[in-house]
Structure 1
Amino acid sequence: MNNPKFEIFKAKNGEFYFRFKAGNGKIIIISEGYVGKPSCVNGIDSVKRNAPNDNRYERTDKTDDYRFNLKAENGQVIARSSEGYTTKVNRENAIDVVKKEAPNAPTEDQTV
């Protein structure tokens, strides 16, 4: 079992992204691309602030594909679920992990 953490990485398109991995090593949320690393770090800080608030989660329901977005105070999407879940219960379990583990999770910068 690993510790939950955020990871910053740089994609082939040159943009910076973050992902949040739960204690079981599974990626739960991923970000949009950022041009600069400081903006990516700000995105992580925003996740940490907003993660505990249930009203910040936008849930989408399609048959066998339940997803979520985490939004900031201004309504902008900060991160999205890394996958679609086959049941609402599984999606809610993933949201609970983000709520509990993300606010205090360390960040690992994989770009250095």
Structure 2
Amino acid sequence: MASKFVLKTASNGQFHFNLHAGNGEIILSSEQYKAKQSALDGIESVRKNAQREGAFEVKAATGGKFHFVLKASNGQVVGQSQMYASEASAKAGTDSVKNNASGATLQDES
């Protein structure tokens, strides 16, 4: 199965997307956007910024877990991960986004 961005409409009418790896796991989630075009622009930002040096930031969370954020060149967060048990797992997650984002298809479920 190939990687894909899945675009959905939230219960409040806003749009959001998830990046799924080839195995179906969600590896990145977006914020909510008021306009569908803004969410589509967010997907393009993930594609572009995932390849940019220094775009990922791995952060420690409470309870000894870790997650990462992907930032645009202006510093705005364009996506974030779920929680990982270790820093190494979170870093592997960033590699997965780097490897999957550029070639991911779009599945529009909005």
Instruction: Give the TM bin, normalised by the shorter chain.
Output: over 0.9
What's 1:19 paired with? 18
Please report how far the alpha carbon of residue 3 of structure 1 lies from its aligned counterpart in structure 2 after TM superposition.
1.0
Q: Which residue of 2 aligns with 1:73?
A: 73
Q: Which runs of 5+ in 2 are unaligned?
A: none
Alignment partners' CA distance in 2, 1:23 and 1:48: 16
**1:73 shift after superposition:** 0.8
- The separation in 1 between residues aligned to 2:87 and 2:22, in whole angstroms, is 21
In the TM superposition, residue 84 of structure 1 has moved relative to its aligned partner by 0.7
Residues 53 and 99 of structure 1 are in contact (CA less than 8 Å); yes or no, is this contact kept in structure 2? no
The normalised TM-score by structure 2 is 0.94
Q: Report which stretch shifted further, 61-70 or 24-33.
A: 61-70
Give the Cα–Cα distance (whole angstroms) in 1 for the partners of residues 91 and 53 of structure 2. 10
2-structure distance, mates of 1:11, 1:71 = 23
- Decide whether the 8 Å contact of 2:65 with 2:86 is kept in 1: yes
Describe how 1:1-112 pairs up with structure 2 within 5 A: 2-62=1-61, 63-81=63-81, 83-111=82-110
Same amino acid, percent of matched pairs: 38
Aligned residues: 109
One-letter amino acid matched to 1:69: V
Alignment deviations for residues 48-90 of structure 1 (CA, whole Å, 9 cap, x no partner): 0000124011211134310111000100000111x11001111
Structure 1 runs (4+) deviating above 4 angstroms are none
CA RMSD across the alignment? 1.0
Q: For 1:59 and 1:93, how far apart are their aligned partners in 2?
A: 10
Gaps of 5+ in 1: none
